[in-house]
Chain A
Amino acid sequence: MLPSPAAAGEGLRVGAVRRIPVALARPVPFGPMLDLRAIPLARYRASAWLAATGAAGDGLYSVVRYVIRLVRLLVLLTIWRGTLDGDSPADHAELSRVLTYTLIAGAFAMQLDAMTDIGDAIRDGRIATWFVAPVRVFGLAVANTIGRWFPSLLGYTLPVLLLAPLAGVDPRPASLGSGLAFIPSLGLAIAIGFALDLLLVSLMARTGWSLWDMRRLRVAFGTVLSGAIVPLAYMPWGLADWLPWFPLASMASAPLRIWTGDGDPVHLVAGQVAWATVGWVAALAAWGTQRERLVGYGG
């Protein structure tokens, strides 16, 4: 039977005045990024969970990546064994410390060079959808990154730490205190890494340089000057003396030195706090001035 005008009109009205949830109807908050008053943790958890399951779903292909990382670690350990091959007890102690340093650097490589996918999101235009979500944009990027770390921590970091003795490396921290101090130190290292990430994407938007080049810059200099590959004490030309004062050292060298009992944890963490503060103030300022460009960057 054909509908009457009244019935058809009723149907239209029902569709037209569908109720919008109040929370979604409010304007999207674009306020300062570190507004700690009401961080909706559940939303970030949901994003982190999706990122974690997405990465875990890669299955065998994740294993390929883990194997490559493991081989790289084994090679570095072998090189150190071939390089620091003295006979004295002091030589043995130094070798053991450097091996532990290298092992922990390899096991926590992603955290010691913390990098979000905000650059990719800007490049491919996904950032626009992040801006219209009722969450902090960089918070979402951080949540995604932490989510992606979980499968790697379970599938790579944990086995590496457990199986390290098989490779003749003692994975334990120098002392209980070192192990405890490592936790806040690693957190600060991650915070500095994220601040650097935000600074670099802001620079990318400002200069128009490509994300790929930014990453290459960071990898080429960051990993060397941060002590993530070679302990800074093994740098020539006096670099060993002044590199530890630089922010990059707070990203990797500081937590690794704390784990291996090389240096005063209080001083090292204090240095990290200082660089984290400076880094975040600079990153937020850069983000604030470049946000509009960032949204437009992906075209």
Chain B
Amino acid sequence: MGEPRVRSTWWYVARVPARYALGFRMDLAFVLRSPGLAAYYLTLDAILTPAAGAATFLLAERLSGIGAWSVAQVTFLLGYATLVEGILSVAFTYNVSHVSRRIGRGQLDHLLVQPQPLWLSLVSEGFAPLSGGAAVLAGIVILSWSIAHLPVMPDPVWWGLFLANLGASVVAILGAMFAWSSLAFWAPVAAEEVATNVHEALTSLGVFPLDGLGGPLAAGLVAVVPAGLVAWLPARALLGIGGAMTPTWATPAAAAGLAIVGAVAFRAGLRQYRKVGSSRYTDFGHRR
């Protein structure tokens, strides 16, 4: 075998579509091999992901809205949150988003022996478009219903802003989960499930209209545990709730900040990992 060349970052960026194609092939094979099992997972996902917002919806229905939010607007918020969660389960499954588990369980070693930058492994390894796609469909259905009942007529610009905010919400969640998960580099056992704690906080708080929170708490829910970016802030901006107080660039800007924090924390953690490695290994969740 000859000396491998050192590749540029762009060379690796260009590999992403091929990685996704590979993920699609593998996922398709998985679904076709056990259609019953796949149907079970898809059904469960389609029901359970939106169910996270059941309490909010029931409350809104009982009280004909929550605060300044009408029932249709609350439903939009829930559909948006479901879609964000669905994108995470399509593109960052296999504990890629719950990366504290991989770190705490010593599974990062599997990634570090791959001849590609770590970011490429993380971006591509958790891609399961078919088996993880039910929540996306559920989100789209809920969003479609809510938009049909909203007094707005979305135009192409609105859809562009919608997609930008949607992507930003996903990035914000990943940034926060990677930042918090970096604790596992220092405390693999104690912090193994910190991503789960953060994710639970995001999914349980992200389905509420968070208007009325005091300054520090609201700031914390945008910058520290960004539940406000899961759906509340983008939905406020996109639906114009509260007038011009919430610009449509707020979520993308906050997401960029969180992405930087997540990347910095993770890189610091990786330096620590190079020093101490992992003294434990469990295979749970690894590529399952």
User: Do A and B come into direct contact in the complex, CB within 8 Å?
Assistant: yes
The answer to whether B44 touches A75, judged by C-beta atoms less than 8 angstroms apart, is no
The answer to whether B205 touches A58, judged by C-beta atoms less than 8 angstroms apart, is no
Residue-wise interface mask of B (199-219) relative to A, using a CB-CB cutoff of 8 A (1 in contact, 0 not): 011001100111111100100
Which A residues have a C-beta under 8 Å from some C-beta of B? 57-59, 61-62, 64-65, 68, 71-72, 74-76, 78-79, 81-83, 123-124, 209, 213, 216-217, 220-221, 223-224, 229-230, 234-237, 239-240
B51 interfacial contact with A, CB 8 Å: yes
By a CB distance below 8 angstroms, the chain A residues around B221 are 71, 75
Q: A71-B217, A71-B220, A78-B217 are in contact. Are A230 and B205 (CB under 8 A)?
A: no
Taking A78-B217, A124-B282, A230-B58 as known contacts, 13 extra A-B pairs with beta carbons closer than 8 A to each other, sorted by chain A number, are: A57-B190, A71-B220, A71-B225, A75-B217, A76-B208, A78-B214, A213-B44, A216-B48, A220-B54, A223-B55, A224-B54, A224-B55, A230-B59
Residue-wise interface mask of B (176-214) relative to A, using a CB-CB cutoff of 8 A (1 in contact, 0 not): 000010010001011100100110110011001111111
Q: List 5 A-B contacts (CB under 8 A).
A: A64-B194, A75-B217, A81-B212, A83-B66, A217-B44
The answer to whether B217 touches A68, judged by C-beta atoms less than 8 angstroms apart, is no
The answer to whether B48 touches A230, judged by C-beta atoms less than 8 angstroms apart, is no
By a CB distance below 8 angstroms, the chain A residues around B225 are 68, 71
By a CB distance below 8 angstroms, the chain A residues around B227 are 75
The answer to whether B67 touches A83, judged by C-beta atoms less than 8 angstroms apart, is yes
B112 interfacial contact with A, CB 8 Å: no
Residue of chain A at shortest CB distance from B57: A236
Once the chains are docked, how many angstroms separate the CA of A236 from the CA of B137?
A: 26
By a CB distance below 8 angstroms, the chain A residues around B211 are 82
The answer to whether A75 touches B213, judged by C-beta atoms less than 8 angstroms apart, is yes
Main secondary structure, interface of A, reads: helix
Once the chains are docked, how many angstroms separate the CA of A223 from the CA of B58?
A: 13
By a CB distance below 8 angstroms, the chain B residues around A213 are 41, 44, 48
CB-CB nearest 4 A-B residue pairs? A220-B51, A61-B190, A236-B62, A58-B190
Once the chains are docked, how many angstroms separate the CA of A216 from the CA of B187?
A: 26
Once the chains are docked, how many angstroms separate the CA of A224 from the CA of B208?
A: 14
Q: How far is the CB of A166 from chain B (nearest CB, A)?
A: 13
B63 interfacial contact with A, CB 8 Å: yes
By a CB distance below 8 angstroms, the chain A residues around B54 are 220-221, 224
Residue of chain A at shortest CB distance from B47: A220
By a CB distance below 8 angstroms, the chain A residues around B191 are 61, 64
Which B residues have a C-beta under 8 Å from some C-beta of A? 40-41, 44, 47-48, 51-52, 54-55, 58-59, 61-63, 66-67, 180, 183, 187, 189-191, 194, 197-198, 200-201, 204-205, 208-214, 217, 220-221, 225, 227, 282, 284
By a CB distance below 8 angstroms, the chain B residues around A62 are 190
Once the chains are docked, how many angstroms separate the CA of A113 from the CA of B95?
A: 25
Q: A64-B194, A217-B48 are in contact. Are A75 and B210 (CB under 8 A)?
A: yes
The answer to whether A79 touches B66, judged by C-beta atoms less than 8 angstroms apart, is yes
Once the chains are docked, how many angstroms separate the CA of A67 from the CA of B52?
A: 21
Once the chains are docked, how many angstroms separate the CA of A46 from the CA of B146?
A: 54
Main secondary structure, interface of B, reads: helix
Q: How far is the CB of B78 from chain A (nearest CB, A)?
A: 13
Once the chains are docked, how many angstroms separate the CA of A25 from the CA of B147?
A: 70
Once the chains are docked, how many angstroms separate the CA of A235 from the CA of B191?
A: 36
Q: A61-B191, A71-B217, A234-B62 are in contact. Are A220 and B212 (CB under 8 A)?
A: no
The answer to whether A72 touches B194, judged by C-beta atoms less than 8 angstroms apart, is no
The answer to whether A72 touches B51, judged by C-beta atoms less than 8 angstroms apart, is no
By a CB distance below 8 angstroms, the chain B residues around A78 are 210, 212-214, 217
By a CB distance below 8 angstroms, the chain A residues around B62 are 234-236, 240
Once the chains are docked, how many angstroms separate the CA of A216 from the CA of B67?
A: 29
Once the chains are docked, how many angstroms separate the CA of A79 from the CA of B217?
A: 13
Of B40, B48, B187, B212, which is within 8 A of A82 by CB?
A: B212
By a CB distance below 8 angstroms, the chain A residues around B183 are 61, 64
Once the chains are docked, how many angstroms separate the CA of A230 from the CA of B189?
A: 34
The answer to whether A71 touches B55, judged by C-beta atoms less than 8 angstroms apart, is no
Once the chains are docked, how many angstroms separate the CA of A81 from the CA of B58?
A: 17
Q: How far is the CB of A194 from chain B (nearest CB, A)?
A: 21
Which residue among B54, B61, B189, B284 has the maximum number of chain A CB atoms within 10 Å of its CB? B54
The answer to whether B210 touches A83, judged by C-beta atoms less than 8 angstroms apart, is no
Once the chains are docked, how many angstroms separate the CA of A71 from the CA of B66?
A: 20
Once the chains are docked, how many angstroms separate the CA of A213 from the CA of B210?
A: 28
By a CB distance below 8 angstroms, the chain A residues around B198 are 68
The answer to whether B59 touches A83, judged by C-beta atoms less than 8 angstroms apart, is yes
Q: How far is the CB of A152 from chain B (nearest CB, A)?
A: 13
Q: How far is the CB of B237 from chain A (nearest CB, A)?
A: 19
Q: A82-B66, A221-B51, A237-B61 are in contact. Are A124 and B284 (CB under 8 A)?
A: yes
Residue of chain B at shortest CB distance from A212: B285
Of B41, B55, B194, B282, which is within 8 A of A229 by CB?
A: B55
The answer to whether A234 touches B63, judged by C-beta atoms less than 8 angstroms apart, is yes
Q: How far is the CB of A168 from chain B (nearest CB, A)?
A: 12
Q: How far is the CB of B36 from chain A (nearest CB, A)?
A: 11
Once the chains are docked, how many angstroms separate the CA of A76 from the CA of B189?
A: 30
By a CB distance below 8 angstroms, the chain B residues around A74 are 213, 217
Once the chains are docked, how many angstroms separate the CA of A81 from the CA of B213?
A: 10
The answer to whether B205 touches A75, judged by C-beta atoms less than 8 angstroms apart, is yes
Residue of chain B at shortest CB distance from A220: B51
Q: How far is the CB of B230 from chain A (nearest CB, A)?
A: 12
